[in-house]
Structure 1
Amino acid sequence: MDPIGRAGAVPGLMGDVHPIGEVLSRAVDGDFPAVDGGWRRVEPWRSGVEGVVAFTGHAYLAVDDEISDGTLSGLGPDGFGGASNPRLVSRLAGSGWIDALDIVLVARGAGGEPALVPRSDLRNHPRAQHATSVRSDVATYGYAAPDDHTLVTLSTGLGGLLEVGLETDPAKDHVGAQVVRDALTLVPEDEVVVAACAPGNARALRAFMAAGFEPVASVQLWRPER
């Protein structure tokens, strides 16, 4: 197997699906990449943002063509942790911003009557600003009460899939899992949606899993300055 095999866009029902979006969509149903220690280079799904998505025994590196195949291969990526090596990530990011290593979780939308409403007043929330820096088409939602600052972001994110993020208002008596369930009503029924959660954020991780999300991979993003 050629470990640096390049993957192009995969035709899908919603147009060209990014290879990482394709593999995450399959993971929802338990169909994972081969556990072969391999890795694959793909084009970034968003201009100015690169990253590594690692599954059990297989990894995907979304890196701009500015980095040659030889340079990338020489950094020693592999599907058994090498593609997420901090030295590799640091080399690719240069002096640019590097995000935390996150767990990737997947679920399907619930559809139906939305449990949340658009909240443009939350657009300047730090979590919304972070989402805007690495995702596209970011929309902010929350509960109708104007004094409730619980935030849900819905955007085009990892691999071109819908991505959800949230932060509950500590002044309100919200259960995290219920906020996640309410967020899923914003996503069309059965459409794949992803979320990223820091491994140490056990409270958020438990909330996503209690609401039906399943962990399938890890992701680390960076905005390169080389």
Structure 2
Amino acid sequence: MDDVHPIAEVLSKASGGDFPAVDGGWQRVAPWRDGVEGVVAFTGHAYLAVDDDVSDGTLGSLGPDGFGGASNPRLVSRLAGDGWIDALDIVLVARGLGGEPALVPRSDLRNHPRAEHATSVRSEVATFGYAAPDDRTLVTLSTGLGGMLEVGVETDPAKHHVGTDVVRDALTLVDEGAVVVAACAPGNARALRAFLGAGFEPVASVQLWRPER
């Protein structure tokens, strides 16, 4: 059995209400995906997933801490170098509903911008949607944050789907009781309300980058 990544372990515990100590501390962990690094911050404790070409001394000199320092834009910019930096997102967790899937595989949506974005930072991305071929509503399931199952959703503006319903339908693709994560920009209030309405709970923040140091 493969080892569970520390980020997956702590997020899984958080889904059950067991959070890291609020001690202002931070921990260094290995990246969970080649070419992608990031910081996952909880209340009063943070995790930095950074490759070993950055020494412990250099990392510590950047001033990370569990009270916001690990997510400081200057720190993130220094570690990313000339590479791409993602937005700071809220991390939400939920549990799968299982049962009869409400969505079907949609390989024709592989070129959807959200699917392409998921492929750039996650692995084993699968695309799903509704059966009607003219419905561009997209749900992605992938190996994402910390190697956990991660879901992404975008509704088709030409259809009249309720976002909460789409997110809830996405949870039917996940085994009953299995933990799934999602990342949502704080300013995307419509999407955030949809995830919260479908039973997701916020537990942390995450910011990813693809370093070019």
TM value normalised by structure 1: 0.94
Deviation of the 1:15 alpha carbon: 3.2
Q: Which residue in the other structure is 2:86 paired with?
A: 99
Q: Which residue in the other structure is 1:138 paired with?
A: 125
Q: Which residue in the other structure is 1:207 paired with?
A: 194
d(CA) in 2 for partners of 1:117, 1:44: 32
1:66 corresponds to 2:64: no
1:86 corresponds to 2:73: yes
The match for 2:159 among 165, 172, 182 is 172
Q: Higher relative contact order at CA 8 Å, sep ≥6: structure 1 or structure 2?
A: 2
After TM superposition, which residue ranges in structure 1, 4 or more long, deviate above 3 angstroms?
A: none
> Residue 165 of structure 2: SS of its match in structure 1?
helix
One-letter code aligned to 2:181 = V
> Residue 17 of structure 1: SS of its match in structure 2?
coil
Q: Which residue in the other structure is 1:6 paired with?
A: none
One-letter code aligned to 1:190 = G
One-letter code aligned to 2:114 = R
d(CA) in 1 for partners of 2:148, 2:179: 7
d(CA) in 2 for partners of 1:219, 1:63: 13
d(CA) in 2 for partners of 1:133, 1:216: 24
Deviation of the 1:16 alpha carbon: 1.2
Q: Which residue in the other structure is 2:115 paired with?
A: 128
One-letter code aligned to 2:15 = V
Deviation of the 1:118 alpha carbon: 0.3
d(CA) in 2 for partners of 1:223, 1:201: 23
d(CA) in 2 for partners of 1:31, 1:210: 22
> Residue 51 of structure 1: SS of its match in structure 2?
strand
The match for 2:31 among 34, 37, 44 is 44
> Residue 177 of structure 1: SS of its match in structure 2?
helix
d(CA) in 2 for partners of 1:191, 1:22: 13
One-letter code aligned to 2:47 = Y
d(CA) in 1 for partners of 2:64, 2:44: 12
Q: Which residue in the other structure is 2:203 paired with?
A: 216
In the alignment of these two chains, the number of paired residues is: 213
d(CA) in 2 for partners of 1:114, 1:15: 28
d(CA) in 2 for partners of 1:85, 1:50: 15
d(CA) in 1 for partners of 2:198, 2:208: 25
d(CA) in 1 for partners of 2:124, 2:158: 28
d(CA) in 2 for partners of 1:62, 1:94: 15
Alpha-carbon displacement from aligned partner over 1:142-178 (angstroms, at most 9, x marks no partner): 0000000000000000011000001000010100000
Q: Which residue in the other structure is 1:5 paired with?
A: none
Provide the aligned C-alpha RMSD in A.
Answer: 0.6
